[in-house]
Amino acid sequence: MNHYLIDIDLPEQMDDDFIAMIPDQRLHINRLMQEGIITSYSLASDRSKLWTTVIADNEEEVGHILNTFPLISYFIYSIHELAFHNTAQYTMPPISLN
């Protein structure tokens, strides 16, 4: 499996249809994160760009994953294969029964 960074440009003007689909997009992203397909999802503070990292076998599979996004018709994106992708894991510390 390889890691890919997807650099997504969002529309300058977000119409009512776009805004109405945001909750579906977030639910879908959360599902993909729980499945371990998406490892990060970030929105620029000016809401002009999204960045997401995806684990997939190849770029074609990344394209298939992106096509499941409810907002895909609004996205202009580029896919970049990464040599590595390190992240800090935010987990609960191990439970001690002592």
Higher pLDDT, 12 or 84: 12
Residue 16 pLDDT exceeds 80: yes
The CATH number given to 2-81 is 3.30.70.1060
pLDDT value for 86: 83
Residue 90 pLDDT exceeds 70: no
The closest of 55, 27, 29, 32 to 42, measured between CA atoms, is 29
pTM of the complete model: 0.85
